[in-house]
Chain A
Amino acid sequence: SQKIEQNSEALNIQEGKTATLTCNYTNYSPAYLQWYRQDPGRGPVFLLLIRENEKEKRKERLKVTFDTTLKQSLFHITASQPADSATYLCALSFSGYALNFGKGTSLLVTP
């Protein structure tokens, strides 16, 4: 069956460092992959979308890579700030519209 796996343990980093979050998937070849941010008590907020023919996408301090051979996406936040602390969700579409989400990785950036 299709699976999406994200780092199960919380990631704690110091302010100013680069945070790297991992998303692995199995038994599927998605045309694109999305990353969302979720704060406690709120719905997910879209961050970035990367297509299968794009190796890398950037938006301000965010960078996403997509390796379809490894079936992996990496999500980087450079110069991290305490305000970046949240849960980050990886999402794929297995059927063209509805999203299938990973469990998310909790990021804590300490001053």
Chain B
Amino acid sequence: GAGVSQTPSNKVTEKGKYVELRCDPISGHTALYWYRQSLGQGPEFLIYFQGTGAADDSGLPNDRFFAVRPEGSVSTLKIQRTERGDSAVYLCASSQAGTSGSKPYEQYFGPGTRLTVT
């Protein structure tokens, strides 16, 4: 079956522009996560969706970042007024569910979108 897909694979934009990054999770996975990875660092959590709702957006760095998942499958991460510091690889992951008590689920990651802000 298909894994998590992300588009575009690369995005170069000018400082101040608006960008949208798309994630298509594994079919049937209710949980979807966005992470950001800078060079030499591990992924950093941004936001988590359970179904259509954002269950936790505490990792979003500021109000320029916003994400949606209107139908509970595809998600879009939106960044307004991009800054050079936003340059990173943006990773999307999905899992069967979030964690429930003692039953955690492994996360399946997409290949990421490399965002470069010039």
Binding site for B on A (CB under 8 A): 4, 31-32, 34, 41-46, 49, 51, 89, 91, 93, 95-104
Which single member of A4, A45, A95 contacts B56 (CB below 8 Å)? A95
Task: Using known A-B contacts A32-B104, A101-B43, A101-B44, determine if residue A96 contacts B111 with beta carbons closer than 8 Å.
Answer: no
Categorize the interface residue count of chain B: 20 to 34
In the complex, the chain B residue whose C-beta lies closest to that of A30 is: B104
Q: Is B41 an interface residue (CB 8 A)?
A: yes
Q: Are A101 and B42 in contact (CB under 8 A)?
A: yes
Is A44 within 8 A of B98, CB to CB? no
A46 adjacent to B56 (CB under 8 Å): no
22 interchain pairs, CB-CB under 8 A: A31-B104, A32-B104, A34-B104, A41-B111, A42-B111, A43-B91, A44-B109, A46-B107, A51-B102, A91-B42, A96-B98, A97-B33, A97-B50, A97-B56, A98-B33, A98-B45, A99-B33, A99-B45, A100-B45, A101-B35, A101-B42, A104-B42
Taking the nearest CB of chain A, how far is it from the CB of B50, in angstroms? 8
Are the C-beta atoms of A99 and B107 separated by less than 8 Å? yes
Residue B8 at the chain A interface, CB threshold 8 Å: no
